[in-house]
Each structure stands twice: as C-alpha cells, then as structure tokens.
C-alpha cells in the first residue's frame, strides 16, 4: 500500500517483500564483484555505512569530494552491471509514484551494521534534480529522518522495513534526510544488517 510522505515523496510499503530473498542474493552478487567498503569522507572520517555500487555510474567519496564515476576510484575497475531486475523494479516503482520513464544509470547499495548511521544530508550530486530517487530497504528496520530544505528544519521520523520502497521526487528531492543509528538485531534473510539500494539518474 502507498502513503504520501510529503509532496513528491511516496512510500510503497512492503512492495518487494515477497522477493526479498532474490533481491538480497543480487546484492551479494554485486558485492562479490565489488566488495562493501567504508569510504572516507572529504573531511577524513570513515563512514559507518559500508557501500558498493552497480550500473554505469557509481557514487563514491574521497579527498577530492563526492562524485559519480564510471570506475571505482579504489580499484580502477568498472562497477558491476546493474541486474536487470533492479532496473525494472526502479522504473516500475517510479511509474507507480507518477514518474514516467525513469531510467537509472547509478545504483548505490548501503550496508548498515549495528550503530551505523547516515547524518542529515541532501542528495544533490545528480545532474538533473527533476529525476526522482527510488530507495529499497531490505533486512533490519531503521528509523529514517526527513526534514525540510535547511539543515535546521524540524524532522519527521518514519520506520523503513524490509521490502519498503520509497520514491523521492518533485519538491521533496532536496529535503534533508538521514538514518538514525541501526539497532542491533537478527533478520531471517539479512542477518545482522540493513541494506538500502538507491537508484538514481546521475548524468
């Protein structure tokens, strides 16, 4: 079932729960080709969230800043291909939220271990901010925070659970958002982790 979160933002609760095992297998397949890695921010901090990417472009961070690149800066190799099911799912979810013809060229996969968090930030490294972002949550639940258009604005909290899909577009595309520290637990399919897959049109 779908619930509007804010203008341009919709949560499609449990949309992919029944194929959670297949999607997790695809995540592990990508990670076998490009292992999860704790990146270092331009400020020199090790991120508590581990990341990998698939698709034509991948997001990464290093001393030069945040950017989308065709190759993993750490290895010099191209990112693994985006599994066709990922692409279909992203396009279908975006369409369901009113964004026709969404064709992602980048897929970032975040892995959260207990205590891992993502502090409030905006996603604005993509070239065309009229394109939505589709996010898929798998494994342990997490508290998602979304705020306004300035860092200090009040925030709302939403629990994101295994199989939930969120589409962020329109005016919500530039909202500040983050993830509170992950509570330890055991998920029957994902064990000690939460995974989040985001699909973007980066270039």
Nearest Cα residue to 36 out of 103, 91, 111, 93: 111
Task: Judge contact between 58 and 39, C-beta under 8 A.
Answer: no
Does 164 sit near Fe ion (CB under 5 A)?
Answer: no
Q: Please say which residue, 48 or 81, places its beta carbon nearer to ligand MD3.
A: 48
**Any residues with CB less than 8 A from the CB of 25 and at least 6 apart, and which?**
none
Shortest separation between residue 154's beta carbon and Fe ion, angstroms? 18
Does 105 sit near Fe ion (CB under 5 A)?
Answer: no
Q: Please say which residue, 123 or 164, places its beta carbon nearer to Fe ion.
A: 123
Does 126 sit near Fe ion (CB under 5 A)?
Answer: no
Site size for Fe ion, by CB under 5 A? 1
Give the relative orientation of helices 84-96 and 20-33 as an angle to the nearest 10 degrees. Answer: 130
Does 123 sit near Fe ion (CB under 5 A)?
Answer: yes
Task: Judge contact between 109 and 195, C-beta under 8 A.
Answer: yes
Task: Find which of ligand MD3, Fe ion, none residue 164 binds, CB within 5 to 8 Å per kind.
Answer: none
Q: Please say which residue, 80 or 118, places its beta carbon nearer to ligand MD3.
A: 118
């Amino acid at each position: 079932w779908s619930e509007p979160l804010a203008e341009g933002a919709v949560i499609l609760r449990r949309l992919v729960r029944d194929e959670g095992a297949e999607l997790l297998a695809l995540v592990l397949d990508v990670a076998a080709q490009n292992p999860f890695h704790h990146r270092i921010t331009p400020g020199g901090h090790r991120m508590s969230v581990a990341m990998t990417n698939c698709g034509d472009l991948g997001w990464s961070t290093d001393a030069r800043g945040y950017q989308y690149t065709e190759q993993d800066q750490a290895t010099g190799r191209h990112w693994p291909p985006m599994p066709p099911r990922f692409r279909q799912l992203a396009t279908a979810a975006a369409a369901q939220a009113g964004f026709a013809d969404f064709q992602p060229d980048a897929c970032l996969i975040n892995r959260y271990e207990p205590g891992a968090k993502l502090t409030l930030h905006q996603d604005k490294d993509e070239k065309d901010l009229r394109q939505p972002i589709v996010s898929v949550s798998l494994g342990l639940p997490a508290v998602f925070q979304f705020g306004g258009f300035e860092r200090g604005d009040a925030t709302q909290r939403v629990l994101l659970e295994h199989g939930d899909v969120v589409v962020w577009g329109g005016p919500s595309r530039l909202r500040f958002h983050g993830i509170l520290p992950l509570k330890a637990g055991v998920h029957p399919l994902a064990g000690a982790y939460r995974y989040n897959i985001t699909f973007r049109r980066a270039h």
